[in-house]
Amino acid sequence: MDNSPRLAQISDKKDVLNFCKNTFSWGDYIHEVWDNWITEGNLIVVENEEIPISMAHAGFYPMEKMIWIEGIRVSEDFRKKGIAEKMIHHFEINAKSQEFKISRMLIASENIPSLTLAKKLGYEIISQWNYYSLESKQISSQNIDMSNSCLDECKELDVQNHHFVESWRWIPLTNERINKLNSENKIFCQKTNNKTIALGIITESESFENTIILEILSGIEPENMIKFVQNLAYEKNYSKIRILTELESLPQIKNLENKFPFYLMQKKLNLQI
Ligand SMILES: CC(C)(COP(=O)(O)OP(=O)(O)OC[C@H]1O[C@@H](n2cnc3c(N)ncnc32)[C@H](O)[C@@H]1OP(=O)(O)O)[C@@H](O)C(=O)NCCC(=O)NCCS
């Protein structure tokens, strides 16, 4: 078998989806993102007898000098042969040739094969995130006081240690990024008696169907912010809400589904050969 990755083509979709159906206990999401990833580029596969048996995608962020590696899948019969490693190396070499400094990926904390793989390749855990899902719903918003002018609150954030989650990619939250998000009215803060009690970023996912993402950056009582997003999703006809936060727990809200812990993993590319 030739392990060299090649760029995926539209016609690979059927073969790839064949081995990306029941990857996890809940299924898989590759069918939702395949078309966008093909358009975006940097979607690769490895073949066996001219049939794709693995895939992976990378997003390139020249401003941040970062690549984001995602959707690594190897068909069950071809695992433990070094294919995932080969695909990750392919992206890292490409990134280094453009003088990128970091490579990142997100791994569920229970996914031992992937964590072992990432650690073997020099990735380190830089933070732990929790993921919650919630259905959109119309609720009374009378008492929900949300504001879009939050630049002062953002200045208090230690940007070094914060990230912006854009379509499931964790991007460093630079001051430029804050200004851009603010001008697009995507940053929200919730105040009580002039005191900010929650700060978050609300985005409509480009890759995932029907999804609004709420990233809670900080908050002591983010309950109303979550309710605000439920309403917003309802008004905008989105059915799914995904909440991402480093906070260890969220308030009890009806239909707020189980949390899934994830690790954000990072490798400094310039230190590696
Ligand atoms: C995780 C996955 C991509 C690994 O693919 P793979 O091609 O089998 O991995 P490789 O053969 O390149 O393995 C490289 C290293 O990863 C680690 N690894 C891979 N599979 C492992 C397993 N089942 N248990 C423990 N470590 C494992 C090992 O350190 C291995 O190095 P070694 O062979 O020297 O021990 C594959 O199991 C898979 O598709 N899983 C389902 C999808 C998934 O979890 N994707 C990642 C989402 S972040």
Query: Cβ < 6 Å from ligand 1: which residues?
Result: 23, 72-74, 79-85, 107, 111-114, 116-117, 120
Two structure tokens written together for 34: 């395949």
Q: CA–CA separation, 21 vs 190, rounded Å?
A: 40
Q: For the segment 70-82, what is each residue's pLDDT rounded down to a tens digit?
A: 999 999 999 999 9
Residue type, 117: L
Residue nearest to atom 28 of ligand 1 (CA): 117
Q: Cα of 117 to ligand 1 centre, how many Å?
A: 5
**Residues paired with residue 24 on neighbouring β-strands, in sequence order:** 27
Cα of 75 to ligand 1 centre, how many Å? 11
Asked if 251 and 222 touch (Cβ cutoff 8 Å), the reply is yes
The DSSP element (H or E) to which 129 belongs, if any, is strand 124-135
Contact (Cβ atoms closer than 8 angstroms) between residue 68 and residue 104? yes
Q: Give residue-wise pLDDT tens across range 95-133.
A: 999 999 999 999 999 999 999 999 999 999 999 999 899
Q: What is the pLDDT at residue 159?
A: 67
Helix (H) or strand (E) holding 95: helix 83-97
Q: Ligand 1 center to residue 105 CA distance, Å?
A: 14
Do 68 and 25 touch, CB atoms closer than 8 A?
no
> pLDDT band at 4, cuts 50/70/90?
very high
What the chain holds in terms of domains, given with CATH numbers, is 6-100 (3.40.630.30), 131-261 (3.40.630)
